[in-house]
Structure 1
Amino acid sequence: FHMIKGSLGSGILAMPVAFKNGGLWTSLVGAIVVGIIYVHCVHILVYSSQVLCTRLKRPQLDFAEIAEGAFRTGPSKWRRYTAFAKEFVDEALTLTYYLCCIVYVVFTASSLKQVADINFGINLDIRLYILIVTVFVLPIGLIRNLKYLVPFSFIAIVALTFGCGYVLYEVFDALPPVSSRPAFNGFDSLPLFFSTIVYSMDGIGTVLPIENAMKKPQSFLGCPGVLNISMFWLLALYCAMGFFGYLRYGDYTAGSITLNVSSSVMGQVVKLAVSLNVLCSYGLFLYVPVEILWRKLEPNVPKSRKTIYYYSLRLILILASVVFAAIVPDLEPFVGLVGALCSSTLVLFFPPIIELVTFWEDKDYMKRWRVIKNLLILLFWLLILITGARTSLARIIELYT
């Protein structure tokens, strides 16, 4: 349950637009393939973590510590990269979670704009709504203690569950025939499909804390195992939302499927409910970059000014996320950019690298096929990184030309 709850996020609402970029059947097959690769990468990351905990005699390790431990105990020629590996993972986590905060601001503003346009007959620039959203994200983003974010997390889960339920109700209410949608939408938009899929499915940051908190962590992996069971249901839900969402709305599918929901009273309630989910999640996502950055800054801050500097850091990050959201207020290409640059790196780059370094000298484990398999995953990551970022940036540039 905790695995599903931790991995199920608002990224599921971007699945239909991912299917729009790939085509109905191409996207379904592609989503399943990406899902299998994702689960495998989580497997090798968790297994590497368990082995490194034994080597280092540590009860548990976070993501950055796993990378550090892999290089520290790996081949001697790679040990000089130990500090860099830890720093690289920290920076990737910071960038990923912070860009998600920006996506959340854009998403909330887009939903508010739709509701206001319907009810008041006005058509104001989305940047005005981004300014309004600032009023709400400021108090949430300034909360320092995680225990005070627990109620917001609960509200977010309830709101997202309600929103997804109603979206699926509307989707199944008037489905056109499957033949009405193209099976493949061309190679030009395919990179955006893969980067959006990776963004939508990325929950790798929640996996290690859940595994570390288990009384029997050995039951996390294996067959069927906690990971396999939970990811099977998550993948089925994500594919269903993407497949039927795109089938229902076709070329009109928006960056978040809630923006396609009808203008009925219930439809507007759903948009506001999902916006509430995103707002409540903002504080949790901001927590990661704040803590990583503060860990680096704190040693250089006078003790008497630590509180002021800490909240100044939070305030700067909140206001900067609003400014970046106003610069790129289009949800679809921005989600693709986050997926291509950040989510793909966390999911497809770090796990195979960590496995290679951790087990390089273990000839019984590191067979030739494992090396080839990891190199293929890294090649897939590089393909998504280059083509996905290029396509997303091109679409963002189109907004200003």
Structure 2
Amino acid sequence: MTDSTTHNNYNIYSCAPKKDLKNQHVTTTMDGYDNKGMLRSELDINGKPVNGVTSINMENLSKVIVLNTSLTNGQQPPSEKPNFYNPYQHRDVKHPTSYFDTLIHLLKASLGTGILAMPSAFRNAGYVVGTLGTIIIGILCTYTIHLLVTSSYELCVKRKVPSLTYPGCAAAAFEEGPKMTRKFAPFARFITKLFLVLYQIGSSCVYIVFISSNLKAIADNYSSDSIDIRMYMVYMIVPLILICSIRNLKLLAPFSSVANCFSLLSFALIFYYIFRDLPSLSSREPVGTIKSIPLFFGTVLFAMEAIGMVLPLENEMKNPKKFGSVFGVLNGAMVPITLLYTFIGFFGYLKYGETPNGSITLDLPSAEILAQLVKLMLSISIYICYALSNYVAFDIIWESLESKMEKNEYKIWWEYALRISIVLVTFFLAVAIPNLEHLISLIGAFCLSTVGIALPAIINFLTFLKVYRKEGYIRLSLFILRNFLIVLIAIFAFIIGVSTSIKDIITHME
């Protein structure tokens, strides 16, 4: 039996297991992501599985399935058919996750360094625009995730596959769309993977800047000479390379547990500082400037979106119908996340006024030991998060390269070379843009307006266009208008957010 604990037996991002030719079974790991149904999650332009992997569970293929669920964006469930394929019934998950398990995973994926930047985001927008804007963005992000999950289910039904990854879903949508879009299916897969990799690398850059900024803030209290933040990044290279060289993800699990404890304790202490001697609301601006509001949008998008983890989590549920239902995992996670982000942004801005830094930790009293402890604990926690983020980026890239190195005796060295290269890329990007606030906004506007808002709407449009053509002119028009407006919002956020962030980065560097 294949050892499921080794890195080479799983794909951390796509959760696509690899085949054991000797025993004819599959094994995967990563927090329970061992879904055999992901076997055909990556399809080529002709609908055939890549890398020679097959997917259909032959034991269940002949079963008669009746769909007993409603789709989340208004589509009616397919009529009962003798040979209807229900993907939920064909998923063979060794350790399926419960409702609560999935809820915790999604909350953990959505709560990161972005929440610490919310007071800075509110400074750019003002407390009125910031409050309304965070709630609206939260609703928009939740809705587009619903569109993605619904589309993924429909595409699984059409393709008769148990589940799909995000890149596989994008490729399948273009293949199932109008004839003119089918030739773009491989390109859609590539673009989706590219933006996901860029997002993960961008997140890793944020982590480096965050750790360096907080270590510098601590050290400056004990030294008369202020060392440039870039030197702290240099000191971190070796530790970052070492932790990213760990090939077995399970070895990071104990560190991750410690990091979670540090994070919870740090947030409790941050709340203590926020509510200590709160000033009057009249001392703060209700509305920000036109120039700064786009920075708010990019920051909130970066903070809230966890689009890359949505389908893997849904695919691993014991009862996946509860993921996108009214009181399901998605709504159950996004409502408190949106409220928490609004809460931190509002009161953090109220406390620290018009000059908050890129992270609220940098606004805490620098001379107090308790505040220094918060910065140190969060730096350790984010150090672990950096390794996890790089795992995702590595696996997306390595998946495309591994098949070409099956017979290469230096394969293990190429793997380590790629891991180190990713660390060095994130290091140089962090050195180039050491401003935490601008970096977060740039990544949010550039990556998440694309894969978090625009792409789910495009996938949904291509997936259900044939269905709505049969529903009459009015419903078809509303369907087209809805997805068009979402894509238009994403394009506007991309252009305005990216241009504003780049201008501010250039101004700051001068």
TM-score range, shorter chain: over 0.9
Work out whether residues 110 and 303 of structure 2, in 8 Å CA contact, stay in contact via their aligned partners in 1: no
TM-score by length of 1: 0.97
Contact 1:199 1:344 in 2 (8 A): no
1:119 aligns to what SS in structure 2?
coil
SS at match of 1:109: helix
Q: d(CA) in 2 for partners of 1:214 and 1:42?
A: 16
What are the Cα deviations for residues 284-339 of structure 1, in whole angstroms up to 9, with x where unaligned? Answer: 11112211211222334452011111100111111221122112111111111101
Residue pair 1:44, 1:352 contacting (<8 A) in 2 also: yes
Deviates more, 1:276-285 or 1:129-138: 129-138
Q: What amino acid is the match of 1:35?
A: G
Q: Deviations over 1:353-398 (max 9, x none)?
A: 0000111111257632222111111111111111111111111112
- Displacement of 1:207 in angstroms is 1.6
2 CA distance for matches of 1:140 and 1:375?
A: 43
- Pick the aligned partner of 1:5 from 81, 87, 108: 108
For 1:130, the equivalent position in structure 2 comes to: 233
Rounded Cα–Cα distance in structure 2 between residues aligned with 1:322 and 1:361: 47
Alignment partner of 2:330 out of 211, 227, 238: 227
Task: Kindly indicate whether residue 434 of structure 2 is the aligned counterpart of residue 325 of structure 1.
Answer: no
| Matches of 1:89 and 1:194, distance apart in 2 | 21
SS at match of 1:252: coil
Q: Which ranges of structure 1 fall in alignment gaps of 5 or more residues?
A: none
What is the TM-score when the length of structure 2 is the normalising length?
Answer: 0.77
The question of 1:298 aligning with 2:407 is answered: no
1:41 to 128, 139, 144: 144
The separation in 2 between residues aligned to 1:155 and 1:210, in whole angstroms, is 23
Q: Determine which of 242, 262, 272 is the counterpart of 1:159.
A: 262
Aligned to 1:287: 391
Instruction: In structure 1, give the amino acid aligned to 2:382.
Output: V
- Between the aligned partners of 1:400 and 1:177, the Cα distance in structure 2 is 34
Q: Secondary structure of the equivalent of 1:221?
A: coil
Where 1:143 maps in the other structure, the secondary structure is coil
| 2:216 is equivalent to residue 107 of structure 1 | no
Moved more, 294-303 or 373-382: 294-303
Q: Of 469, 486, 497, which aligns to 1:388?
A: 497
Counterpart of 2:458 in structure 1 is: 353
Within the candidate set 268, 272, 280, 2:376 is matched to 272
Measured against aligned partners, the alpha-carbon deviations of 1:98-123 in whole angstroms (never above 9, x if no partner) come to: 11111110110000000000123331
SS class of match (2:184): helix
Q: Which stretches in structure 2 are left out of the alignment for 5+ residues?
A: 1-103
Alpha-carbon separation, structure 2, partners of 1:168 and 1:133: 29
Counterpart-to-counterpart distance in 2, 1:228 and 1:36? 10
Q: Measure the CA separation in 1 of the matches of 2:354 and 2:178.
A: 51
For this pair of structures, how many residues does the alignment match? Answer: 401
Distance 2:181 2:168 in 1: 16
> What is the letter of the counterpart of residue 200 of structure 2?
Y
Query: CA RMSD, aligned part only?
Result: 1.4
For residue 255 of structure 1, give the secondary structure of its aligned residue in structure 2: coil
Q: Distance in 1 between matches of 2:109 and 2:497?
A: 26
- Whether the aligned pair in 2 keeps the contact of 1:10 and 1:160 (CA below 8 Å) is no
- Please list, as runs of the form range in 1=range in 2, the aligned pairs for 1:1-400 lying within 5 A after superposition: 1-263=104-366, 264-301=368-405, 302-363=407-468, 367-400=476-509
- Partner Cα separation in structure 2 for residue 143 and residue 293 of structure 1: 17
In 2, Cα distance between equivalents of 1:254 and 1:203: 24
Structure holding more helix per residue: 1
Give me the whole-angstrom Cα distance separating, in 2, the residues matched to 1:9 and 1:207: 16
Distance 2:177 2:154 in 1: 12
What is the CA–CA distance in structure 2 between the aligned matches of 1:338 and 1:143, rounded to whole Å?
Answer: 26
Identity %: 38
- AA aligned to 2:489 is F
User: Are the aligned partners of 2:111 and 2:303 in contact in 1 as well (CA < 8 Å)?
Assistant: no
Partner SS, residue 278 of structure 2: coil
* Residue 162 of structure 1: how far off its partner (Å): 1.7
Instruction: Indicate the structure (1 or 2) with the bigger Cα radius of gyration.
Output: 2
Give the number of the structure with larger relative contact order, counting CA–CA contacts within 8 Å between residues 6 or more apart. 1
Deviation at 1:153, TM superposition (A): 2.5
SS of 1:361's equivalent?
helix
Shift of 1:233: 0.7
Aligned equivalents of 1:327, 1:18: Cα separation in 2: 22
What is the CA–CA distance in structure 1 between the aligned matches of 2:402 and 2:323, rounded to whole Å?
35
Aligned residue type for 2:355: Y
Letter in 2 for 1:158: C
CA–CA distance in structure 1, aligned partners of residues 476 and 282 of structure 2:
45
Distance of 1:159 and 1:252 partners within structure 2:
27
Q: For structure 1, which segment, 284-293 or 70-79, has the greater mean C-alpha deviation from structure 2 after superposition?
A: 70-79
* Paired residues of 2:449 and 2:494 also in contact (CA < 8 A): yes
**What amino acid is the match of 1:30?**
G
* CA distance, structure 2, for counterparts of residue 74 and residue 4 of structure 1: 33
* Separation of aligned partners in 2, 1:172 and 1:236: 17
Match of 2:33 in 1: none
SS of 2:326 mapped into structure 1: coil
Q: Return 297-306 or 132-141, whichever deviates more.
A: 297-306
Spell out structure 1 runs of 4+ moving beyond 4 A. Answer: none
Q: Distance in 1 between matches of 2:390 and 2:189?
A: 20
Output the CA distance in 2 between the equivalents of 1:310 and 1:375.
42
Q: After the TM superposition, which of the residue ranges 173-182 and 240-249 deviates more from structure 2?
A: 173-182
SS of residue in 2 equivalent to 1:162: helix
Instruction: Give the CA deviation at 1:135.
Output: 2.7
Match of 1:34, as an amino acid? I
